[in-house]
Structure 1
Amino acid sequence: MAVTYTAAVNVDGEGRNGGHVRSADGLLDTSLSLPKELGGAGTATNPEQLLAAGWAACFLGALRRAATTRKIRLTSTTIVAEVTLTHGDDGEFSLSAILSPTLGGVDQATAAELAHAAHQICPYSKATRDNIPVTINATAA
């Protein structure tokens, strides 16, 4: 398999609680902060937001690819990605996700079909498959 692209990111400091993240090319350069819900300041982004953003962007690309493959013209695409951090009774943390794409120019059945197809081809979905619970809620606009 040929390498297409590698993202390199450095995180320093306290990681998710007061750390700083910077990509090798400098395009991503931001601080990290624990959300208020976890007792932090909530003044900067956090790993769950970064994962949700990356996954959502990748998933929309996969949706457009699935539509193109099927010769379906989408008039619009948006998505809300929710990544939830949970803390179990055993003291361990885990993740779950809800991906809610809204697709314009198609009916509800087609929106659901395209979302299912996108979930099969999206690299983020592949990476998390059978590792975390994922719910897909597609809606036709």
Structure 2
Amino acid sequence: MSVNVLYRTTARAVGGRDGHAETLDGRFKVDLGVPKELGGDDRGNNPEQLFAAGYAACFLGAMKYVANEQKLSLPQETSVQATVGLGPRSDGGFGIEVSLEVSLPGMDHSQADSLLQKTEKVCPYAHATRNNIKTTISLAKN
């Protein structure tokens, strides 16, 4: 499968989990830190936080795209909460898992469920992680 790339960005990390990362265009800069659960001091942000924020924003953007294609109005308070977990894999190394909780207050449950299923097929993050990491997507109880 090929991709007709419309946008590219490049980021550089120095120092690993307790270093610094930034995009080469200078629009995004972040000091990184290791979470206490992994032996760090909890200073700075970590890659899992960045992945959670990116996945949540990407999924919501894809949901807006799908809703627009289907002539649906999303509730004003629509949100996506992404939780990223990190831990050792049973076969060695480390792995992540993701849980997305989507809030669509006031939307009919079956319509919301259909929207999530279609969004999961459109979202680039969901596509990149499909059959790769454990991912659950659920509707928030509103």
| TM-score, with length taken from structure 1 | 0.91
Amino acid at match of 1:74: L
Please identify runs of 4+ aligned residues in structure 1 that moved more than 6 A: none
2:38 aligns with 38
Instruction: Using the TM superposition, give the Cα deviation of residue 140 of structure 1 relative to its aligned residue in structure 2, in angstroms.
Output: 6.5
Query: Are the structure 2 counterparts of residues 88 and 2 from structure 1 closer, same or farther at C-alpha, using a change threshold of 3 Å?
Result: closer
Paired residues for 1:19-98 under 5 Å: 19-76=19-76, 77-98=78-99
The percent of aligned pairs where both chains have the same amino acid is 41
How many residue pairs align between the two structures? 139
**Equivalent-residue separation in structure 2 for 1:116 and 1:2 (angstroms):** 24
State the distance in 1 between where 2:115 and 2:67 align: 7
Q: 1:54-98: CA deviations, max 9, x gaps?
A: 111010011111111111111221111011112134432111100
Describe the superposition over 1:11-47 as per-residue Cα deviations: whole angstroms up to 9, x where unpaired: 012x01x110011111211111111111101111101
SS at match of 1:82: strand
**Contact 1:67/1:73, CA 8 A, preserved across alignment:** yes
Asked whether the equivalents of residues 108 and 139 of structure 1 are also in contact (C-alpha less than 8 Å), the reply is no
Q: CA deviation at 1:104?
A: 3.3
Q: TM-score by structure 2 length?
A: 0.91
Q: Which residue matches 2:14?
A: 12
Q: 1:41 to 1:109 in 2, by over 3 A?
A: same
Secondary structure of the residue aligned to 1:104 is coil
Question: Unpaired segments of 5 or more residues in structure 1?
Answer: none
